[in-house]
């Protein structure tokens, strides 16, 4: 049997983390078993459809690296892959059910159905449409809602790949609508028919669909079809783990993470761990590593907490794996001096959790690498002890003398070895300590209270530029 999984979003909004994880698990399972992954668009709820949502979802999946084998853009053996173009297929299956005695046109108006519902509420009993089945109905002409006539009112029991044995009683079954009066199928009908025709073997879905499973199973039974394997995924929790993460609680558009400078491989790694465990302590995975490790049996039943701090730390680890050139390219980093930008990458890798933060650093505390600073004499003297009013000038002159004897380019550690003995000698003589040397040096180089240490700055700027900036500082003292 060829494994065939699917992701079937409704174009009613953007792709958020819950839906993206569903797509990811379906994709991982298909790839792990050399199967096929299908993206199918369920667009029968026309009243809620959002313009551009289909393109947005497809772009989101592509950015994450979740590539499909069959869909609206690449076709496949079971096209079309959008429900609004499959109406003839649903009608064909509906006629099969009518002929078998398992479907009938709904003869009631909306007002009559609402009256039935209100009566049930007043009598404190559940409303079941099957309690109001008409004894006889005319032929279905396509203008009335078509309802499923549950073949057998019974208790259903089924196996879920994650939840184990599940069951539901007779109250879970009712005569639900198959095709609405506008000719469009309901979700309960259309997705079952699509899964049958597209030969889907495994269905990844959220826990909210468990209560509806008896309806689906009853429909499979009426059509004499074998249902797929159901794989129920745990909820993703927000709000401190108290409730399911929703758009209202901060569930972001997946492409927001791209705008914020996250790597797609980070999102894939992070989403995979939201409800699945590899069975050890490993948390860092490449997409290929996830395919190799993924196992349905290790999907957890309990909810998974969405932890954005963990996401940021994981992103930094993925960013650090990039070569310096990849880091600059993928981060879309720009500066007026490419050589200094390249030298700044180790700093960015150490301090930035996203590429947005890296860009902010280049425009903020690291901007001194690409422009000469504006200096204040008072700031230069900020660490100068009261008993030595001339120390700042002497300290900078000493540093300048040491720099002039060094090679043009040195790593930061070599610069530190050259300057620290001088700073330490001043510490021994003066109450100002080594800061009386290191502070004015760093400020002269950066013009900022927040910047890398002076050794790193000198290494990146080069001896000639660092010496020039120190001379400029001496000139204002």
Q: Per-domain residue ranges for the chain? A: 1-71+234-321, 325-369, 372-476
Which of the residues are catalytic? 247
Distance set, CA 101 to CA 150, 196, 213, 218, 291 (Å):
10, 20, 21, 14, 45
Determine the angle formed by the axes of helices 454-461 and 463-476, rounding to 10 degrees. 120
Tell which residue, 179, 273, 166, has the closest CA to residue 210: 166
Tell which residue, 166, 173, 159, 184, has the closest CA to residue 216: 173
Taking CB atoms within 8 Å and a gap of at least 24, the contacts of 424-431 are 426/391, 426/395, 426/398, 430/385, 430/387, 430/388, 430/391, 431/385, 431/387
- pLDDT of 281 reads 87
Identical topology for domains 1-71+234-321 and 372-476: no
Helices (H), 134-186: none
Strand partners, 84: none
- Per CATH, the number for 1-71+234-321 is 3.40.50.620
- pLDDT of 382 reads 86
- pLDDT of 239 reads 66
372-476 CATH, one of 3.30.470.30, 1.10.3720.10, 3.30.530.20, 1.10.10.350:
1.10.10.350
- pLDDT of 427 reads 63
The kind and range of the H/E element at 164 are: strand 164-168
- pLDDT of 432 reads 60
- pLDDT of 385 reads 75
Gap between the Cα atoms of 236 and 215, Å rounded: 25
- pLDDT of 69 reads 98
- pLDDT of 158 reads 97
- pLDDT of 27 reads 98
- pLDDT of 391 reads 85
* 205-4-233 Cα angle (round to 5): 20
Determine the angle formed by the axes of helices 53-64 and 17-32, rounding to 10 degrees. 50
- pLDDT of 431 reads 58
Print pLDDT tens along the chain (477 aa): 899 999 999 999 999 999 999 999 999 999 999 999 999 999 988 888 999 999 999 999 999 999 999 999 999 999 999 999 999 999 999 999 999 999 999 999 889 999 999 999 999 999 999 999 998 888 898 889 999 999 999 999 999 999 999 999 888 899 999 999 999 999 999 999 999 999 999 999 999 999 999 999 999 999 999 999 999 999 999 866 677 886 666 678 999 999 999 999 999 999 999 999 998 889 999 999 999 999 999 999 999 999 999 999 999 999 999 999 999 999 999 999 999 999 999 999 999 999 999 999 999 999 999 999 999 999 999 887 777 778 899 899 999 999 998 999 999 999 999 999 998 886 655 656 788 899 999 999 999 988 999 999 999 999 999 999 999 999 998
- pLDDT of 101 reads 94
- pLDDT of 72 reads 97
Gap between the Cα atoms of 71 and 81, Å rounded: 6
User: Which pairing describes strands 4-7 and 36-39: parallel, antiparallel, or unpaired?
Assistant: parallel
């Amino acid at each position: 049997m060829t494994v065939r999984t699917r992701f079937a979003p409704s174009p009613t909004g953007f792709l958020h983390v819950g839906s993206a994880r569903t797509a990811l698990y379906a994709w991982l399972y298909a790839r792990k078993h050399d199967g096929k992954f299908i993206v199918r668009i369920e667009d029968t709820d026309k009243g809620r459809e959002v313009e551009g949502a289909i393109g947005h979802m497809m772009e989101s999946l592509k950015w994450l690296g979740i590539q499909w084998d069959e869909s609206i853009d690449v076709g496949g053996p079971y096209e079309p892959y959008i429900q609004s173009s499959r109406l003839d297929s649903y009608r064909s299956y509906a006629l099969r059910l009518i002929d078998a005695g398992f479907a009938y046109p709904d003869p009631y108006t909306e007002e009559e159905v609402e009256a039935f519902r209100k009566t049930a509420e007043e009598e404190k009993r559940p409303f079941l449409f099957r309690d109001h089945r008409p004894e006889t109905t005319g032929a279905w002409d396509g203008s009335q809602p078509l309802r499923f006539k549950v073949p057998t009112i019974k208790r259903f029991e089924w196996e879920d790949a994650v939840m184990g044995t599940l069951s539901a009683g007779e109250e879970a079954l009712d005569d639900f609508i198959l095709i609405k009066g506008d000719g469009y199928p309901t979700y309960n009908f259309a997705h079952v028919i699509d899964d049958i025709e597209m030969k889907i073997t495994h269905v990844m879905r959220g826990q909210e669909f468990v209560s509806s499973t008896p309806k689906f199973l009853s429909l499979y039974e009426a059509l004499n079809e074998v249902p797929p394997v159901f794989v129920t995924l745990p909820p993703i929790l927000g709000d401190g783990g108290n409730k399911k993460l929703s758009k209202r609680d901060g569930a972001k558009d997946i492409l927001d993470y791209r705008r914020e400078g996250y790597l797609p491989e980070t999102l894939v790694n992070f989403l995979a761990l939201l409800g699945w465990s590899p069975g050890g302590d490993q948390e860092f995975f490449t997409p290929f590593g996830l395919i190799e490790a993924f196992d349905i049996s290790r999907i957890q039943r309990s909810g998974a907490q969405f932890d954005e701090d963990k996401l940021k730390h994981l992103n930094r680890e993925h960013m650090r794996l990039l070569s310096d050139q990849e880091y600059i390219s993928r981060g879309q980093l720009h500066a007026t001096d490419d050589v200094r930008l390249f030298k700044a990458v180790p700093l960015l890798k150490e301090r930035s959790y996203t590429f947005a933060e890296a860009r902010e650093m280049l425009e903020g505390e690291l901007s001194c690498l690409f422009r000469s600073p504006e200096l204040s004499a008072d700031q230069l003297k900020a660490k100068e002890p009261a008993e030595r009013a001339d120390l700042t000038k002497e300290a900078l002159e000493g540093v300048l003398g040491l720099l002039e004897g060094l090679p043009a380019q040195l790593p930061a550690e070599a610069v530190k070895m050259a300057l620290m003995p001088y700073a330490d000698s001043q510490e021994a003589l003066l109450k100002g300590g080594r800061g009386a040397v290191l502070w004015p040096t760093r400020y002269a180089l950066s013009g900022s209270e927040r910047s890398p240490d002076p050794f790193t700055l000198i290494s990146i700027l080069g001896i000639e530029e660092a010496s020039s900036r120190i001379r400029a500082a001496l000139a204002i003292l």
